[in-house]
Amino acid sequence: MIPAPIPADDKARVQALRELLILDTPPEERFDRLTRFAQAEFEVPMVSITLVDRERQWMKSCIGLTGRETARDISFCGHAILEPDWLLVPDTQADERFHDNPLVTGEPHLRFYAGAVLRAPTGAAVGTLCIMDTRPRALDDIDLEILRALRQLVQEELVSREGMA
């Protein structure tokens, strides 16, 4: 397993995340509605809106996963936030970064991951909208457009929520 690298701008990135005042807040229907929609649209067993903090990834909303956080070093989202738009992993067992990751070799047995990067108003990558499956798969251009539109809705919710406590 290749641990998720730390971005060069991680201090500013984490600060932008914290300014959203969303970490460790209770579930909210406005985010849960988007994860339910993504699950139905992509017909996947797992979806999450995940925020990547300094040492963990924390899920604001999730379906099909147990727990609300995992260590950053084993996270797929930690890799995704390094990408300009998204990280697509059609088959985790065929990818050297993930083939021996505990999330692949054990529960929840991830075989497919797509994470669309979420950005704070500053432009900092703070997390992902993830769709995941227990079988390999691919996304076509239409799927990517839908994922992009859903990501935009999640980002709008993050911004409209900014400053709430």
- Is the per-residue pLDDT at 126 higher than 70? yes
Among 66-70, 79-83, 142-146, 159-163, the minimum mean pLDDT is found in 159-163
Q: Which residue has the higher pLDDT, 7 or 91?
A: 91
- Is the per-residue pLDDT at 106 higher than 90? yes
Reported as half-sphere exposure (CB side, CA atoms, 13 A), residue 28 has a value of 16
Q: How confident is the model at residue 165 (pLDDT cuts 50, 70, 90)?
A: very low
Predicted local confidence at residue 87, as pLDDT: 97
Q: Cβ-count burial of 49 within 10 angstroms (0-12 exposed, 13-18 middle, 19+ buried)?
A: buried
What topology is assigned to 10-161 in CATH? Beta-Lactamase (3.30.450)
The mean pLDDT value for 76-92 works out to 97
Question: b/e per residue, 119-149, with b = 16+ CB within 10 A?
Answer: bbeeebbbbbbbbbbeeebebeeebeebbee
Predicted local confidence at residue 161, as pLDDT: 61
Question: b/e per residue, 89-113, with b = 16+ CB within 10 A?
Answer: bebbeebebbeebebbeeeeebbbb
Q: How confident is the model at residue 4 (pLDDT cuts 50, 70, 90)?
A: confident
For a pLDDT cut of 70, what percent of the chain falls above it? 97
pLDDT per position as a tens digit, 12-45: 999 999 999 999 999 999 999 999 999 999 999 9
Measured distance CA(119)–CA(128) in Å, rounded: 8
Phi–psi pair at 28, nearest 5 degrees:
-130, 135
pTM value?
A: 0.93
Place of tokens 């990834």: 57
The mean predicted confidence, pLDDT, of the chain is 94
